[in-house]
Amino acid sequence: MSRDNILHRIRTAVGRSAGQPPAEPPPVRLRVPQVEMEARVASMIARVEALAGRACHTSDPRSVASEVLAGKTSVASNTPVLAKYGITSLPCVRTGISDRAELRAVCAVADIGITSADYALADTGTLVMISSPEEARLISLLPPAHLAIVPRERILSGLDELFLLLPRPAEQTSSMVLITGPSRTADIEQILVRGVHGPGQITVVIAD
pLDDT value for 195: 63
For 84, residues 6+ apart whose C-beta sits below 8 A from its C-beta are none
Q: What's the pLDDT score for residue 74?
A: 97
- Burial per residue of 137-174, b for 16 or more beta-carbon CB atoms within 10 angstroms, e otherwise: bbbbbbbbbbbbbbbbebbbbbbbbbeeebeebeeebe
Confirm whether 165 is domain-assigned.
yes
Strand 74-76 with 119-121, pairing: unpaired
Distance CA 76, CA 114 (A): 4
How many domains does the chain contain in total? 1
Contact between residue 158 and residue 121 where contact means Cβ atoms under 8 Å apart: yes
**pLDDT (0 to 100) of residue 1:** 60
30 within a domain of the structure (yes/no): no
User: Domain of 55?
Assistant: 36-185+194-207
Q: Write the CATH number for 107.
A: 3.40.50.10420
The neighbour count for residue 19, using CB atoms within 10 Å, is 6
1 lies in a domain? no
The answer to whether residue 152 is domain-embedded is: yes
Decide if 46 is inside a domain.
Answer: yes
pLDDT for residue 185: 75
Rg of the chain, C-alpha, whole Å: 21
79 falls within a domain: yes
- Residue 68 phi, psi (nearest 5): -65, -35
Mean pLDDT, 10 residues at a time, over the chain (208 residues)? 84 84 82 94 97 95 96 96 96 94 96 97 96 90 96 96 90 88 75 74 96
Length of the chain: 208
Is 9 contained in some domain? no
pLDDT recorded at residue 172: 82
- Could you tell me if 115 and 173 are in contact, meaning their C-beta atoms sit under 8 angstroms apart? no
174 occurs within a structural domain = yes
